[in-house]
């Protein structure tokens, strides 16, 4: 089983998707349609495609390198969105990891068996998938009486990856390749490579309108959603999730195809090098975002986040993990007395929580206190931001805020979102670390934007010309109060790692640059 290391499993963690190229985007598209609230990480190994002609052992090694890279991103589930990789590696990966691992072959086979009317099923796939016999086995396990005819289509992947999947050449190649399968008159055909749905119109034309085409990606996402619901890992956020894409080849070419196929503008696409990743299972501690031993103690450095909010805890996992610090939350400790926030300032409340929980646990603790300060209301709601109207109710809080600002002209509705972070280490009792982050804006009369809650729809940032709720996650990372506080903390950690229980030569982050920590401002202020 996979060692959890610094990973905190929660519903807001992303789902990882892997493929040999862009074909897995057909599965991602289904995920965006069926599971819009989920956060998505996609990795396509375009630099080494195609996988189809490669030996199964090599495909398995390449697949593990993709998997190990995404494991450093704290994914809550993994989808092997590649039939060739599923055939070669799914059983091995699924048996080793402690998160749900879903391949595309079994869901596709199950769907084909379900809809077949004549008992004659065709499979069109890569050489590797056909040679593995994986679809034949999966279909016959459900109904041994069915006839299965498999055909390798090695040219289809290159048509998609070269962005020629709508061309006249693609139409001709598809028709010629599928002629032998069409002659067998299947009633149902599985598109057994995630690249192939991009060629669906040509495939349908070559086989005939009476043939039912099965897209395993669609069925895979149905199974994924069921598994997440069963395990309590479904993300029920009230806004669309984040989408981040990685490729081992050219981000520009990837973006051209992905933008067209997914219908998304401004895709977040980055080049990554995964050839240094292990080509087999290793514990999390041995991966790129591993947790090194402290030079002083010989043990892992650990910090407890003074929160049970899974989204907030994940922010700190993403921030501290690459810096060699194991993260735990208050939810990891039973019968822990609650530290009341009785302070009158953000700093006092953050200190109370950090010092109180550190004393109780004997571990370093980081605590934050955040809120909205409106100048015309003498800094209110301030430390009472989450319970301004008496309870944690966004609508009531906003209504009270607007009522108290009635008659205040636009120019005098200036406000500030503020965050204070406090790090307390019992090994350094006189050396608390305190940093602040702030963003200036003003309060609008009408709300705008859906990418946030709390006061976000009313908090307008003039320099950006939009409210916090109108900002993308990337924009919030750059301008938010919590992002600014984490940047200040990152600067201190990089300048003096020993102060945080790390070796003098602190490990530099491998997943996010110190200047752009990833934060989620769509969290209740605590």
Residue numbering of the annotated binding site: 19-20, 51-52, 83-84, 194-195, 307-312, 340, 369-370, 453-456, 476, 481-482
Instruction: Give the phi and the psi of residue 41 in degrees, each rounded to 5.
Output: -120, 125
* CA–CA separation, 402 and 425 (whole Å): 41
The catalytic position among 215, 318, 368, 369 is: 369
The catalytic position among 45, 193, 368, 522 is: 193
* CA–CA separation, 149 and 78 (whole Å): 29
The catalytic position among 10, 45, 82, 318 is: 82
Handedness of CA 52, 54, 57, 60 (dihedral sign): negative
Residues linked to residue 147 through DSSP beta bridges, in sequence order: 120
Name residue, tokens 């939810």: 331
| Known active-site residue 369 | yes
Binding residue positions for Mg(2+): 340, 369
| Known active-site residue 193 | yes
Q: List Cβ neighbours of 315 (8 Å cut-off, separation of 6 or more).
A: 482, 486, 517, 518, 519, 520, 523
Structure token pair of residue 118: 């004549």
Work out the end-to-end distance of the chain between its first and last CA atoms, rounded to an integer number of angstroms: 34
* CA–CA separation, 234 and 212 (whole Å): 31
User: Checking phi first, is residue 379 left (phi over 0); if not, alpha (psi -120 to 50) or beta?
Assistant: left
Structure token pair of residue 213: 């085409």
Q: List Cβ neighbours of 50 (8 Å cut-off, separation of 6 or more).
A: 20, 21, 126, 154, 157, 158, 161
* CA–CA separation, 474 and 27 (whole Å): 24
Degrees, nearest 5: CA angle 12-311-284: 70
Binding residue positions for substrate: 19-20, 51-52, 83-84, 194-195, 307-312, 370, 453-456, 476, 481-482
Q: Quick one: angle between helices 200-207 and 168-182, nearest 10?
A: 40
Name residue, tokens 């490990």: 507
Residue 95 CB neighbours (<10 A): 10
* CA–CA separation, 520 and 10 (whole Å): 14
| Known active-site residue 432 | no
* Residues labelled as active-site residues: 82, 193, 369
């Amino acid at each position: 089983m996979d060692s959890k290391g610094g990973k905190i499993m929660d519903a807001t963690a992303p789902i990882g998707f892997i493929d040999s190229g862009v074909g897995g985007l057909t599965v991602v598209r289904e995920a965006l349609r069926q599971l819009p609230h989920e956060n998505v990480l996609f990795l396509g190994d375009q630099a080494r495609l195609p996988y189809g002609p490669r030996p199964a052992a090599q495909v398995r090694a390449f697949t593990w390198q993709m998997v190990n890279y995404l494991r450093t991103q704290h994914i809550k589930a993994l989808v092997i969105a590649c039939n060739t990789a599923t055939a070669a590696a799914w059983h091995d990966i699924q048996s080793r990891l402690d998160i749900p691992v879903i391949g595309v072959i079994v869901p596709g086979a199950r769907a084909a068996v379900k809809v077949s009317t004549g008992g004659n099923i065709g499979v069109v796939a890569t050489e590797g998938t056909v040679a593995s016999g994986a679809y034949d086995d999966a279909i016959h396990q459900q109904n041994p009486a069915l006839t299965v005819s498999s055909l390798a289509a090695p040219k289809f992947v290159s048509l998609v990856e070269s962005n020629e999947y709508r061309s006249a050449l693609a139409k001709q190649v598809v028709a010629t390749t599928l002629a032998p399968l069409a002659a067998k008159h299947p009633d149902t055909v599985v598109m057994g490579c995630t690249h192939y749905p991009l060629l669906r119109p040509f495939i349908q034309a070559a086989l005939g309108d009476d043939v039912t085409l099965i897209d395993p990606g669609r069925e895979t996402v149905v199974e994924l959603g069921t598994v997440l619901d069963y395990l309590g890992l479904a993300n029920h956020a009230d806004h669309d999730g984040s989408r981040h894409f990685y490729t081992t080849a050219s981000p520009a070419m990837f973006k051209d195809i992905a933008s067209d196929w997914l219908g998304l503008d401004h895709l977040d696409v980055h080049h990554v090098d995964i050839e240094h990743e292990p080509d087999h299972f290793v514990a999390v501690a041995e991966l790129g975002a591993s947790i090194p031993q402290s030079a002083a103690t010989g043990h892992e450095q650990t910090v407890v986040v003074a929160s049970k909010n899974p989204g907030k805890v994940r922010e700190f996992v993403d921030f501290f993990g690459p810096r060699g610090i194991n993260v735990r939350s208050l939810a990891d400790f039973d019968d822990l007395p609650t530290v009341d926030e009785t302070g009158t300032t953000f700093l006092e409340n953050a200190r109370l929580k950090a010092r109180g929980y550190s004393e109780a646990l004997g571990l370093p603790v980081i605590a934050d206190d955040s809120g909205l300060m409106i100048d015309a209301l003498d800094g209110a709601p301030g430390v009472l931001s989450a319970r301004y109207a008496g309870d944690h109710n966004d609508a009531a809080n906003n209504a009270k805020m607007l009522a108290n600002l009635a008659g205040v002209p636009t120019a005098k509705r200036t406000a500030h979102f503020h965050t204070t972070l406090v790090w307390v280490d019992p090994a350094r009792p006189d050396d608390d670390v305190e940093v602040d982050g702030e963003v200036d804006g003003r309060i609008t009369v009408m709300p705008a934007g859906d990418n946030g809650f709390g006061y976000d729809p009313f908090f307008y940032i003039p320099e950006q010309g939009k409210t916090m709720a109108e900002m993308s996650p990337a924009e919030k990372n750059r301008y938010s109060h919590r992002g600014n506080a984490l940047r200040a903390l990152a600067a201190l950690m990089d300048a003096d790692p020993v102060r945080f229980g790390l070796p003098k030569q602190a490990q530099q982050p491998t997943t996010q640059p110190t200047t752009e920590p990833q934060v989620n401002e769509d969290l209740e202020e605590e």
